[in-house]
Each structure stands twice: as structure tokens, then as C-alpha cells.
Structure 1
Amino acid sequence: MPRQARSKVGILGIPFSKGQPKGGAEMGPEILRRAGLVSRIKRFDYQVVDHGDIEIESIPGDKPDGNVKNPRSVGRANKKISDKVASIVKSKELCLNLGGDHSIAIGSIHGHCRAEPGLVVVWVDAHADINTPLSSPSGNMHGMPLSLLVKELADRFSPVEGFDWCKPCIHVRDIVYIGLRDVDEGERWIIDQFGIPAYSMQEIDKMGIKEVMHHALKNLDPNGTRPIHLSFDVDGLDPTITPSTGTPVLGGLNIREGQYIMEELANTGRLSAIDIVEVNPLLGSEKDNMVTAETTISVIEKCFGSKRGGYYPASYVFPSL
């Protein structure tokens, strides 16, 4: 398997949960670090730089902007995320973002685009998260990140308070979905209207994960040259293996399918930034949290060279007499 083009990983904690109503997602970076994520990545000959957590300032009395909840809080946090992610990627580090709810992808993708404008996005999730402020049934911004980033949707809604800094930076053709199974009507309309490649669990059951990944990567980047931004929501996996998350949906990816997705992305050698989002330890027991963290790490470490067939580092010396 080819090594990633980058030998250094920059880890960024993003303890933010105002994109949805359930407290606890801000604890995601802590639980993943405590479960050994950093040491697991270091095993694969990467130089790991932990940039710590972004300081998130709460905005008291953050009133809705129309249907959109906590717009100024989400906007301010994501401006900081964009600045930091852009800096990490420009430093030639593979940027690993530990969320946080999925609204953090606004800043992470925006910042990544500032550093590498030609990127593509692989969105692994039970949900499409491309509702506009007008189509969203809930008004929660963790269900809207892609709509604020996609150029084709810019004229479909008025500017959101707190996001004057956020100019759309990707096209619909730059996105592929894997693992969908809970998609709102407005999101389905957008996917169909613009022809966004979307592989739901129905397609995965029909085609198998190998064919899905082959078609997904070919549709997204036929020439195989563009940087990849992976945005991975743990609820893309089945809740039996990631129970500590805010919007679980039965019938998700199993651990082998999740690992295969990451292995194939690693095989491209073009992974440049990764989001891990929606781990919420307040929504599960201690056992649930341990299972969620271990499952998440066992899947994500496949992006960094972990092989199910076995692995040894470049520094390994076979024992002999």
C-alpha cells in the first residue's frame, strides 16, 4: 500500500457542540485522545504534532437567524477552525480534526480549500448534511455544513448571520456520499437536481463496498490527482458499534465496510484532511463510550497504514541470534 504523501500528521481538537442541541459532542476530542488515538497513529511511522484544542468562546443569547439556531456561535467557531486548518495543511501536515458536531466541517473544508483549492470531499455519514437554512426541518447547523460551502446553492438562501467570512468554495461535483440512510426531502432534491454521487446503504447492499468505492472515487476524481478531504461522522457506522452519538440510525456500515472505505482512501495517497465528528460520551454508558472510541479509532487508523493482514514499522528489526 502506498504511503500517504505526507509523513506528518497535525491533530486539531475542536470541542464544539452548538451545531446541534445535545451537549457532549464537545467532549469528543478528549475521549478519542484518552482512548489512544495519538499513540495508535504514531505506530505507523508518522510524526504526530498535537496542536491541542481550539478555544471556543460561547456567545450568550445567540438568537436564531430565521430558522438557523446558534448562527453566531457556529460562525465564530468555524472562522477559527478555517484559519487553523489552513495553517496546518499549508505546513504539509495531514490535518486530523477531532470534533465536535458536524457543523465543524464548514470551517475545516473552508480552511482546507484555502490551502488546497482543488480538493474533493468524501462524506461518510448516515445523513447528507446539505440542507439549506430554508429546507432544514430542525434549524440545527450540523445538518447544513455543505450547503454553506457549495457554490451552486449560494443563491438559494440569504446570507446567515455570523458567516460573512465564509464564501462557497466547492462545487456539487466535488462531493461523494457513502453510507446514507436518513436523508431529508430537501436534501434528496439537491442530490438529484445536481447529480451528486450518493451511495446509500441500499447501493452498498446491492453493489458491495468494493464496487461502491471504485465508482465513488472514479466519479469524484477520474484522473486520481486531487487532494481528498474525508469528513467522517461516526453515525455512518451502525449504532451497535458506535452507540455514543447524537443521531443514530440503524442499518449502517459494519466495521469491515468502514475499514475498507478508509483503506481504499489511504491507497490513493491523497488524503490531506480528515474530520472525525459526533462522538458524544454523554449519550452512552461507560461501556458504550469505550466501544464507540475503539471502533472509531480502529476504522480511522486504516487511513494511516494499519493493515488487517499485519504491519511492521520501517524501524522494525527482526530478532535473531
Structure 2
Amino acid sequence: MALRGSLARLLRAQPDAALRPRRGAHSVALVGAPLSRGQKRRGVDHGPATLRAAGLVERLAGLGCQVHDFGDLNFTQVPNDELYNNLILYPRSVGLASQMLADVVSRAVAAGHRCVTLGGDHSLALGSISGHTRQCPHLGVIWVDAHADINTPLTTQSGSLHGQPLSFLLRELQNKVPQLPGFSWLKPCLSASDIVYIGLRDVDPAEYYILKNFDIQYFSMRDIDRLGIQKVMERTFEQLMGRRQRPIHLSFDIDAFDPSLAPATGTPVLGGLTYREGMYITEEIHNTGMLSAVDMVEVNPLLGASQEAVKATAHLAVDVIATCFGQTREGAHIAFDELPTPSSPDESDSEEQVRI
């Protein structure tokens, strides 16, 4: 797996001066993580390119962000990457890719950027969250997803690592998760109280057991229907920041939205977030001023039934990211300090006489 150019510079012993944000600037680092070995469907590795083609960089720049696009990490499959326990897919490839991503995210945050990781499948959260916690060990995670992604390698039925990342990251599950080949670098870095789920509606039995028995805060779609999205966000922030302000890591799976809005994804589930609910979540996170890193995952252009379906999914993902950085539904505009005034009446009259 190779790193070139600015991505390589991020891994130097000292942050490159050219990579540091200007004083007072709203700096965003974009890191493409075309990781696809965490699941079985082809095409999710095209997600970063699809989001860039949908105008992500231009949208963020238009919001006044200082955008550093560091390009894509170059993930390759590890040779002879055999199944673990006759079930877990590509453990060495996912482990090595996640380690690389963790290093890059850590350096981007250390350099003063808010890091946006463009997926790729949701197994990339192994790297993005663990890398983020190296710089912000007390961060809180908001996981917006139809799925809990907290199966262990011993409870998963699919064998896909994109359904397991949080089990590796959670301290309370340390003695329930075996040591996978390629994962020796990874240490649990979150506690159950550090996580809030939003949008769940497809949870496996073992995952439900974990959520309940380890007292993890979650809001299913039924909870959103019952409480309303405003109350859900109030309780989310009370859970994560009721005692102290701390950085937020938002991990957003596009399948959190209803498939009618985001059809180009691998595991769609009916009854998801509306556009308004999704935008409200990210508007409120932005308003805290504590957002430090974002994952946008599972956009898969090969699974759209049409080009229009792919564009709708990609533009929705861009809206989510842009709203994290200040886009509002009242309108997002450049700074406007003073209204212009008309010329004096004498000048206007004389110009009109000349025109006549």
C-alpha cells in the first residue's frame, strides 16, 4: 500500500507547514479511503471519486472552508488473505488499510484540520476513529446508520467486517473479540458511554444484546418517530457533552436515509431518515462547534439502478458533509457586511436625462 504526495507528507514526524490551516481559517482535510474489503459487494471503492464528482470540494470552498484534498489512500489486497475462523473476510487487508488510515487521520487532526474521511465501506471507522482518538482521547462518537455495526467476529453471520468495527473499538468488549491477523496494532479506544446511535432499524440479535447489556445509548427510527428529531439531538448532546465539552466524531452511513433518497448503497433498509431529519442532525452537530472528524461511507455508484439514482445518493452525501461545515437551510452565503445604497438623486436624474 503506497502513499504519495501530500498524504505522505502527513505522516512525517512534524506536520508540514504547508498543511497547517491559516490562522482563523475553517480548515477541512479530505482523505479518500476507498476500502471495499470490509464487505462483499463491489463498487463501494468508487465512493470517494463519486463524492468529489458531485462537487464536494467546491461546495466546502463556497462555504468559506480552507479545503485540503489529500487524495485517496492506495489500498491493495494482502496476498493469501485467508478467512479467519472460516468466516471473516479479508482480515489482513482490512487491518492493514485501517492502520494506514489511522495514521493519516491522526496526522491531519494534529495539523489542525477537521478531517473528513470519504468511504469506502464502514469498516474504515476502525482506522478513522482509532486515529482520531490518538489526538482526542476523550472524543464522543455519533454513529448515524441503519445498522449497529457492533457484531463481534464470533457473532457475525455474514463475516463482513463492515458490520463489526465498533466491537473492536469498545473497551467493554475487549475480552469478547479475538485477535484477528492484521489487527495487532488496534487497541480499544472507546467506552460504551462515548457512543450514541441514531437511525437504527436493522439490528442483529447479538448486537441488540450488546446495546442493552452494555447500556449504549441509541435512538432507533421508532424513537425518532416517538420523540422527534429535536429531542433526539438534545438527548444525544446530553449524553456526550452533558458533563464536559469534547470533540465529536460523526460516522455517517448513507443507508441511514430511506432508500428512496439514497438508493445507491449496499444494504438499504426501508423506513429511514427523511432529508429534513438528516440535515437537522448535522446542523445541530455543527452548531455545537465541537465537530472534529466525519466519516461518510457506503456510497456505491455500481448499485444505483440509474445514473439519476447515483447522482441523488452522491448529492445527498455532499449535503450531509456541507451541513456539517455550515450550510444551512436558511441559505449558505459568503459574508455580507453592508447593503449597497443608490446614487444621489441628482446623479440619477442627470443619468436618466442623458439616457433619454
TM-score bucket of the superposed structures, by smaller chain: over 0.9
- Counterpart check, 1:9 vs 2:28: yes
The Cα offsets for residues 22-77 of structure 1, whole Å up to 9 and x where unpaired, read as 01000000000000011101111110000111111212331111131110000010
Give the counterpart of 2:331 among 305, 310, 313.
Answer: 310
- Counterpart check, 1:204 vs 2:220: no
Structure 2-normalised TM-score? Answer: 0.87
The Cα offsets for residues 108-160 of structure 1, whole Å up to 9 and x where unpaired, read as 00000011111010000000000000011111000000001111101013211
Change (3 A) 1:22 1:310: same
> Could you tell me how far 1:318 is from its partner in structure 2?
4.5
Partner of 2:124: 104
Partner of 2:320: 299
> Could you tell me how far 1:312 is from its partner in structure 2?
2.2
Partner of 1:20: 39
SS in 1 for 2:176: coil
Query: For residues 134 and 269 of structure 2, what CA distance do their matches in structure 1 show?
Result: 33
Structure 1-normalised TM-score? Answer: 0.96
Partner of 1:62: 81
Give the counterpart of 1:144 among 154, 159, 164.
Answer: 164
> Could you tell me how far 1:319 is from its partner in structure 2?
4.7
Query: For residues 149 and 226 of structure 1, what CA distance do their matches in structure 2 show?
Result: 18
Q: Identity over the aligned pairs, expressed in percent? A: 49
Give the counterpart of 1:253 among 257, 260, 273.
Answer: 273
Partner of 1:113: 133
Work out whether residues 168 and 177 of structure 2, in 8 Å CA contact, stay in contact via their aligned partners in 1. no
Work out whether residues 127 and 182 of structure 1, in 8 Å CA contact, stay in contact via their aligned partners in 2. yes
**Which structure is richer in relative contact order (CA contacts within 8 A, separation 6 or more)?**
1
Change (3 A) 1:246 1:185: same
Partner of 1:278: 298
How many residue pairs end up in the alignment? 317
Q: Which residue identity does 1:26 align to in structure 2?
A: D
Q: Which residue identity does 1:48 align to in structure 2?
A: V
Q: Which residue identity does 1:170 align to in structure 2?
A: L
Partner of 2:347: none
Moved more, 72-81 or 219-228: 219-228
Partner of 1:167: 187
SS in 2 for 1:28: helix
Aligned-residue CA RMSD (Å): 1.3
| Structure 1 gap segments, 5+ residues each | none
- Counterpart check, 1:38 vs 2:24: no
Change (3 A) 1:314 1:53: same
